[in-house]
């Protein structure tokens, strides 16, 4: 392993490097350390999305530890990083390598994100956490506050944030290019995993746990239940105890463009329409309406989310809205967003806001106020490392000040599904519903012993 720089000197050198890491064409190298002095990075969850996450992070440091509850992806990743220590339990990895770790990449199932991130941050490690940042609204608030308190550099993995088209669109909207924007429509073709109506209850069968899987470690903070292949791998997304459904999976991507462009924060109310909710899996379809108050000279906004299939048909925005953005004979994209202003409309036909079409025409873009990146998923890691080296958390544009607020807002939609049909009045600063104490219990969850925040 390459020689690592002393942390105190590292921060001193970083601060001395000063401002100016961002230029219009992209990121410029930071010269606060020699080429041989790299960050010590560990990965928690290295299968699935975690595989590419740790690979990309490795370009900016030394991977000294990898962790996964499944020996199969862990073994494959160990072939690529033979110098890295292998673990099944991230708690043990963090404790045993405290002095060597600078940064932690977390790509586990949703229910473990916050517990892993919180432990790392309390140890003053910089953290990169996949979207959705957390499993519950409460956890998102806790991570945002802790990141600021500990002074660490954070980044949520919603890679569309690096897109130059997304950042330019935000500048155009904030400069008044669409006029007064009062409506937002966002949709997805998820779920693409089993949940209601296919599955509404736990399986009766209890097959043996595969020898490669540490099932108790997979459960982590979630309540105990027997192993089943309906949960691991990947299919955990549709279960309340492990995933965050289609809304949690995709809205940190598809809602990112309007959320950033319109400077959205706490909604004033949320109401969900969906099929009757069962206690185990997310509903087959949902339509969730968020109302946001005015922000400065920006008017109130009605934001409507659409997911799943109702009677076999994808839930989409109303036809009168689609008619304003689709060309003759054009089909609506599988996922995307629409912003409706009194001077113009945007249509982004992809998951990440990477393509934006303007109607009736693209407004003249103002002088750039946001840095340009354009590096996609790898660019997210590069931006995060730039923040670490400069000791400036704001350089990472999906840092927890932004990413946790986006996640917190989005996950309120899942709470609204639990009490579908009831309009919930949200008291953001106090983290509670002002008019529904029953809904408040869904903002947080109980943790198993040994897995608390």
Decide if pLDDT at 69 tops 60.
yes
Average pLDDT over residues 156-170: 98
- Cα 141–Cα 167–Cα 305 angle in degrees, nearest 5: 55
Phi, psi of 58 (to 5 degrees): -65, -20
Nearest to 158 by CA among 190, 128, 135: 128
CB atoms within 10 A of CB 448: 14
Q: How many DSSP H helices and E strands does the chain contain?
A: 14, 18
The CATH number given to 164-195+242-373+405-439 is: 3.30.360.10
pTM (predicted TM-score): 0.92
Nearest to 384 by CA among 370, 371, 398: 398
At residue 13, the pLDDT reads 35
pLDDT in tens, 379-394: 999 999 999 999 999 9
Mean pLDDT, the chain, as a whole number?
92
For domain 7-161+374-400, say whether CATH 3.40.50.720 is its number: yes
Average pLDDT over residues 261-280: 98
72 vs 92: CA distance, rounded Å: 19
Nearest to 53 by CA among 124, 4, 113: 113
Tokens read off for 95: 């404790």
Provide the 3-class DSSP secondary structure of residue 309. Answer: strand
What DSSP string describes 19-79? S--EETTEE----SS-TT--EEEEEE--STHHHHHHHHHGGGEEEEEEE-SBHHHHHHHHH
pLDDT in tens, 321-357: 999 999 999 999 999 999 999 999 999 999 999 999 9
Tokens read off for 217: 């470690």
In this chain, the answer to whether the domains covering 7-161+374-400 and 164-195+242-373+405-439 adopt an identical fold is no
Domain positions in the chain are: 7-161+374-400, 164-195+242-373+405-439
Cα-to-chain-centroid distance, residue 49? 12
CA distances from 20 to 30, 205, 392 (A): 10, 59, 11
């Amino acid at each position: 392993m390459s020689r690592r720089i002393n942390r105190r000197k590292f921060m001193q050198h970083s601060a001395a490097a000063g401002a100016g890491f961002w230029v219009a064409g992209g990121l410029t190298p930071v010269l606060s350390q020699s080429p041989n002095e790299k960050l010590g990075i560990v990965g928690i969850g290295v299968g699935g999305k975690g595989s590419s996450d740790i690979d990309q992070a490795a370009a900016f440091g030394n991977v000294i530890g990898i962790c996964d509850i499944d020996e199969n992806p862990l073994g494959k990743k160990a072939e690529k990083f033979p110098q890295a220590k292998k673990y099944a339990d991230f708690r043990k990895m963090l404790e045993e390598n405290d002095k060597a770790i600078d940064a932690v990449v977390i790509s586990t199932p949703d229910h473990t994100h916050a517990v892993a991130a919180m432990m790392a941050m309390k140890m003053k490690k910089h953290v990169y956490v996949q979207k959705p940042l957390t499993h519950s609204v409460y956890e998102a608030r806790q991570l945002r506050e802790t990141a600021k308190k500990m002074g660490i550099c954070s980044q949520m993995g919603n890679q569309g944030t690096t897109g130059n088209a997304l950042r330019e669109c935000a500048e155009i909207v904030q400069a008044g290019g669409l006029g007064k924007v009062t409506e937002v429509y966002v949709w997805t073709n998820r779920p693409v995993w089993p949940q209601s109506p296919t599955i509404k209850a736990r399986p009766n069968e209890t097959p043996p746990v595969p020898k490669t899987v540490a099932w108790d470690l997979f459960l982590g903070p979630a309540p105990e239940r027997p192993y089943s292949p309906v949960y691991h791998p990947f299919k955990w997304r549709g279960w309340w105890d492990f995933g965050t459904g289609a809304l949690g999976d995709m809205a940190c991507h598809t809602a990112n463009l309007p959320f950033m462009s319109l400077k959205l924060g706490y909604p004033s109310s949320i109401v969900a329409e969906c099929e009757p909710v069962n206690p185990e899996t997310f509903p087959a379809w949902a339509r969730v309406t968020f109302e946001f108050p005015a922000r400065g000279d920006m008017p109130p906004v009605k934001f409507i989310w659409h997911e799943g299939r109702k009677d076999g048909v994808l839930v989409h925005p109303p036809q009168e809205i689609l008619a304003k953005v689709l060309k003759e004979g054009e089909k609506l994209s599988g996922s995307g967003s629409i912003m409706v202003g009194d001077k113009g409309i945007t249509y982004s036909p992809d998951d990440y806001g990477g393509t934006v079409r303007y109607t009736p025409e693209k407004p003249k873009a103002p002088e750039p106020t946001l840095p340009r990146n354009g590096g996609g998923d790898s660019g997210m890691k590069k931006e995060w490392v730039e923040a670490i080296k400069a000791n400036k958390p704001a350089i990472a544009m999906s840092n927890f000040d932004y990413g946790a607020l986006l996640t917190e807002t989005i996950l309120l939609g899942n709470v609204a599904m639990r009490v579908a049909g009831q309009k919930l009045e949200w008291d953001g600063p106090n983290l509670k519903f002002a008019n529904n104490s029953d809904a408040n219990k869904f903002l947080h969850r109980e943790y198993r012993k040994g897995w608390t925040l």
